[in-house]
Structures are given as C-alpha cells and as structure tokens.
Structure 1
C-alpha cells in the first residue's frame, strides 16, 4: 500500500491543533468579600493537591534604607503562627505526606504546599494561619536575618558569577527599585526595627493583595466551603498604592566594570533595558533570545563557540520583570580572546536580527520550540497552580495559561526584526566587563 506523505506545514498545523486541545486548563475563579482572589482547578487523575498563595509583594516594594524585606518575609512567615508552634511548620507538612516551599522575585512572593488530596484541609488551614496569625517577634527576625545572610554568602558573595544579576540591576537602573538586589543589603536588614517589620506585614500580606490557588484532586463545592471558613474571616487590608520612579531611556552606550573574587575567567555582559513581561514586545524578545542562544545549533553558540572557538560559553536571555525587563547577551572568552572582540562578535549577530529577516526554516524551528514548551509547561498540577497565580496577579489575565501560546504563534519574522531594532541598539546598551579580582585586593 502506498504511504501518504505529509508536508511540514501540515504536520505543524496538526501539532498545533492537538496541543491546543490537550493543554486547555479548566478553572473557576471568584473573589471573597475581603478581596482575596480564588482560583480552583480540578484534576482528579492523581490523589494530590497543591495549595498556594501568591502575594503581590517583592524586592521592589521597599523604601530607601529598607531593602530586602520581601525576601526576609519569605523565610519569616515559616517561623510560626498563633496555632503553629515555632519551628514546627516543616515538620507538620512532612509528617502529613506533603512538601512545601516558597520563593521571592522583585515582583511577588509565592508560598505553596503539595499534599495527598485527603490533606487539602490542612493545606488551606496552614496558609490561612500564615495570612491571619503570623507570630512576628524579635527572636524570629534575628533568626531569619542570619538565614538570609548565610544565603547571601552562599549564593552571591562566595559563588562564581554570583553577582551577575545584582551588577545588571545596578547598571541598568538608576531610580527604579530594580537597581537594588532582591535579597537586599544586609545593613538595611540589620537596621530594621520590629516595628518596621510588623508594619510591612500589615501592609502587604493581606487578602486583597493575594491570590489563592487550589489545584488537583478536589471536590469544588467542598473546597469552596473550606476556603470560606478559613479565609473569609481574615480582614481586608488597606488598598496598596504603588508609584515607582520611571527610568530615563538609555540613549548612549554605557561602559562599566565589575569585579568578582570568585572567578578566574572574565565575562562580558551586554545588557539592554526592555519592557515589562506583560508587553507583547517582551514575548518577541523571548523568541529572539531563543533564536540567538538556545542550544548548540543557535546562532551565537555555533559561531562564537563552535566555529570561531572564541568563547567557552555564550548566551542571550530575556530576564522578565513586571515593570522593566533586562535583556542580557554574555560570553566567557577562550584563552586570551579580548572581551571587546566578543562584544563585537555578539553585536554582529544581534545586528543581523535588527536588519534582516530570520530564515523561514529558523522561524519554523522557533515555533516548534515554543510549542514544545507549551506542551511541557503545565505537565503537573503543581506547575499549573503556579502558572494560574502568575497569570492572574502579574499579567492580569488568568486565561493566559491557555492562550499564551497564541501570542507566540502570531509573532512574525517581520515583528522579530522590528522589535530587535527597537530595543537592541548599540546606543541603548550597557557593556559590562566582569573581571576576576584577587581576594587580597582592597
């Protein structure tokens, strides 16, 4: 029997249709009277449930001289509550077959637990305790300050290239809080009073500044009743007014130098200030970074690492943030290759994206990569919970979990060229030489 051959465009279209149907996430959302936004996703295929709360507070939410509070609170709100003994949080979770964690960015803080579904009530109770009854005292603050300091020493001060992101922030931003590291400055945390910390909790960790997501093996009616019981009585906080300083555009190339005593091989960073991640242009920049450096067949890697053997590593990253993004192109040289040579080689590839259309073949490869990412992005209930919370709180559109792939599908080769020409110009960049420094130097 004669085999039927399918064209590449037909197969791509078929793949799009199949993934669109297979990946749809069904959810229900509503608000409690106190302003808490609730999102429920029922998936009874496995007996697990994720309970999570995202607060719209991150490193940028601070005053001068009081940086790092959101990251401190990531740790502090595990200390204990009115009904959870100090130091017992993780023990309660693990002894009931669960696991939990939290993380903080410049824009939000996220707490979550994953339990067997018969412990849904426990997960909701614990998160309501965190919101309503946290115990904040000097003992807990002192303990968690030391935890944060140790984390800073481990991840930033004593880790090779650990200062890359702080260096990027301080050079791309002059007035916006993104200029300061998310973890904050230790002298600010040391100077914080108990009154400062209590006031921060009262302002930001309130139901009207949060979204609760419950995803997994749940009964929706029962879950709504539990949420009403545990979270309904929590009082609404005052409305939060945010007004961050605006950055002036970068119109001339800025050169900077930074030193890292933990490295032997220097790096060169070429950075651009870009729009916040909810803007359409930010999606296009995601595609450009994938085109330039995702995988060994990408343009930058193949040219500078494989063919010309000038770099050990090279990469391009669109670092998304709510108010402004940071677009980074960086390289580590081979041997005595000058950093300015790497800068010129990277600019040559970026310039091609600014001035020429990428090939149809490369464009289709990009589309396939983003289709695959979409298929894998919501492969677990835990992942779905995080995406639902992020889509609602930071993008203002919960259904982005289902339709974000359509944004990438709609991006054209012409748009890729236009966005590169808009944001990735030499006169809009900061070039940073990131150099080794002898630990004995002053």
Structure 2
C-alpha cells in the first residue's frame, strides 16, 4: 500500500506527496497532460520537441542540469502518446532545488529563436537516427498510420513528418507552450525522503504564484471500428524479414485492460509462454517473437512482432501465429497457467514500485487517468481476471478484420517472394 497526501493549489496544480524514510533520496516528478495525441495533425512532434526545449534554460537557469548535479542528483524526461513527464532524483534535503527549477521553467521557459533552432536540430537528428537510418525504424510511422485513420495515435511521438519539426516557427511553439504547460494541466508528485509539512510549504512557495493557464480542451477524434484486414508490404534495408500484427484493444481505463495485458504475457511473457515454447523453440521459423500492449489512455494496440529465420517465409510465419491465436479462442487457458502469469506480472509491478522514481511516475500517471489511488488496486485488478475473461477478450481482439499487418522484406528480395 502506497500512502500519500493529495491537494490542489488555487492555480489548479495537483500535488501528491508520498513520504518514504527507507531511502535518503527524493523524486520530484511533474507530469504535463500533453502528448502526441494532443497535437495538430499538421504540426506533429511538438510534445516531444518541448521535452527537449524544457532543458534549454529559463529566466533564472541557463543550464538545467548543473544545479541538479551540484545537488547530488540526476534528471530526465520522456514523452509518449498521452503525456510528457519530467523527473528529478536527488538527496531529500535538496529537493527544493528541483522544485525551484521545475517552477522556473513552467513560468519562465526560454523560448527564443536560438533555443528553438538548437533543439530542432537535435530532434531532427534523432528523427534520422531512430526513424530513417535504423532498420525497421519507420515501423511506428507505418503501423500507426495503417491501424488508425482518425485518432491522433496515427502518428508516433517523434512526429508524422520531419517537415513538421523543421518548419515549426517561434509563434507555433510559443502557442503550444502557453496552451499546455501550465499548473492547471500538470500533476506534481514528490516521493521519498521528506517532511510532508515542509514540502507542502515549499510547493506553495515555488508554484503557488504561477498564474493558471487557459482551460485545456482537446477534441480528440474517435477511431471507428476497423472493418477489414489492412496490409502494408515494405522492401527495405533490414537484416531479416519481419511481420508485425496490430489489433485494436481497449484503453487503459477499460474493464478488460487487465485481461488483455495478461493475454500478452500468456503469449510471450518469458520462457514458459506459448510463443517462446511453441514458435521460437518449437519451430525453425522465428529468430524472435513477442507480444505486448501499447497501454495507451484511449483504445490502443495489441502488437505481435516477429523476426524470421533466413529460410522461413512470411506466409508460414503468419499461419503459425494465427494458429496460436485461434487456440486461445477455442481452448480455455488452464487455471494454474493463468495464475502463474498473474503472479509474475504482479511481482513485476510490486518490484518496480520499490523505486522512488517509479512510485512518483506511477502516482502521477494514475492521477492523470483520474485517481492516484488506482496504484493500490492493480493487484486486485489483475487477480479478478478469469480464464473466461481471457478467452472472451481473445475472441474480441484476434479477428482478421481487426488486424493491421506490416511486413518487411529484405531489400534484395522481390516483393512477390516469401509472402
């Protein structure tokens, strides 16, 4: 059980405090409720760009890293479809340094042409390295665009096109910042070594006077039900042929999310999983195969990805994968096998929450979803899943008309071969 105090400042900032005397460290984590799903389709990649811009300096801080490092700490950030998250871990007696830094960039971020040009260059280089030059690097551009036709999950966090970042103007990014990076669109979580009353006063000192921003309203398009199998075939400079299958699945708050999450572990959660025993070790077709869920706030994707051995064909790989999916639909999972998967997943969750960083990030995330106390109901959520639930969600998800398939073939092969 993770105990915490929660309150809201007059400017709308939600604050969560969790004291942990077992560690000398504290984590100051701030989550902004903006990710790639909140972007304009013609100006994508802005949330990720701001992850970089937020380290470019503010009114009273020219280099964000130096004060944190001089305080004996470290910091980092990440952006995904739904959120942008910044975290600082440092000795508990120095947590005020992190509060000062986070407040300063929330109120006084340095957004000028020089800073923008520097970070645009960094992001464009990252785009090249991860999405263009890397084998299979364009996967999420292709797979997202194939699976989604209306919802903004149809582009990856780094952006739909390089041009959207290259053409981003100062006024564009300033507007995006003013709309999204405000106390009323943020959740501040502090975990670890602290005195709660002292921390409460420090939060008020540094954040209490920051003005509330405009009300944030995003009209997110609902993705219509997929009506038929979608396929994309790519000939690319990749080391091995590969097949990716993406099935639409419920969002994180749906009652069936836990069952679908467990389903992915049944298929590929370690050496006792179905894919490992029957496909990876039981055939000579696959060099790697795994299944996972995107876990997004809105309805996401259940993804199966497989790399093939040189002598294997995409056609036989596809048949073998569908055979395993159809077995889950036709035959109920054994109770003891499901319990084993539950135990592994729950242990993983429990172990991860020993870390003050993970506790801070997860408390912020669950509060963004609507209730930070959900962090204490995860075990119950998974334990309530039955073998009937597993079979039911498998039937709902693993349908050809619900599948988007992306195939990579090595460039020297003709597209007509191995399919």
Structure 1 residue corresponding to 2:35, chosen from 58, 67, 74: 58
Match of 1:104 in 2: 79
Which residue, 409, 412, 417 being the options, matches 2:383? 409
Residue pairs, 1:21-170, within 5 angstroms:
24-85=1-62, 88-170=63-145
Are residues 1:332 and 2:313 paired? no
How far apart, in 2, do the equivalents of 1:82 and 1:142 lie? 18
TM-score, normalised with respect to structure 1: 0.91
Match of 1:356 among 331, 337, 340: 331
Distance apart, 1:274 and its partner CA:
1.3
Other-structure match for 1:248: 224
State the Cα distance separating 1:165 from its structure 2 match.
2.2
Q: Cα deviation per residue 1:131-154 (whole Å; 9 max; x = unaligned)?
A: 111110010000000110111122
The answer (yes or no) to whether the contact 1:272–1:328 under 8 Å persists in 2 is: yes
Q: CA deviation at 1:256?
A: 1.5
SS at match of 1:303: helix
Instruction: Quote the Cα distance in structure 1 between the aligned partners of 2:150 and 2:130.
Output: 25
Partner of residue 195 from structure 1, selected from 171, 181, 204: 171
Aligned to 2:197: 221
Q: Distance in 2 between matches of 1:266 and 1:212?
A: 44
2:351 aligned partner:
376
> Take 1:247 and 1:28, find their aligned partners in 2: how far apart are those partners?
37
Q: Which residue of 2 aligns with 1:175?
A: 150
Question: Displacement of 1:355 after TM fit?
Answer: 2.1
Greater mean alpha carbon deviation, residues 296-305 or residues 142-151: 296-305
Deviation at 1:249, TM superposition (A): 0.9
| Structure 1 residue 231 displacement after superposition | 0.3
Whether 2:409 is the aligned partner of 1:432: answer no
**Partners in 2 of 1:273 and 1:360 — Cα distance?**
26
Give the match for residue 267 of structure 2.
292
Once superposed, which parts of structure 1, at least 4 consecutive aligned residues long, lie more than 4 Å away?
A: none
CA distance in 2, matches of 1:203, 1:403: 33
| Native 8 Å contact 2:262 2:341 kept in 1 | yes
Higher deviation after alignment, 155-164 or 333-342 = 155-164
The alpha-carbon deviation at position 364 of structure 1 amounts to: 1.9
Q: Which moved more, 1:25-34 or 1:371-380?
A: 371-380
Shift of 1:156: 2.1
Where do 1:229-244 residues align within 5 Å? 229-244=205-220
Residue 328 of structure 1: CA displacement?
1.0
Contact kept? 2:140, 2:155, Cα under 8 Å: no
Give the Cα separation in 2 of the matches to 1:45 and 1:317: 33
Q: Deviations over 1:351-387 (max 9, x none)?
A: 1112221012211211211221132120111110011
Whole-angstrom distance in 1 between the partners of 2:142 and 2:379 = 32
How many pairs were matched up? 413
Deviates more, 1:371-380 or 1:383-392: 371-380
Distance in structure 1 (CA, Å) of the matches to 2:323 and 2:66: 55
Q: Which consecutive unaligned segments of at least 5 residues does structure 1 have?
A: 1-23
Aligned partner of residue 213 in structure 2, secondary structure: coil
Kindly indicate whether the alpha-carbon contact (under 8 Å) linking 2:29 and 2:85 is maintained by their aligned counterparts in 1.
Answer: yes
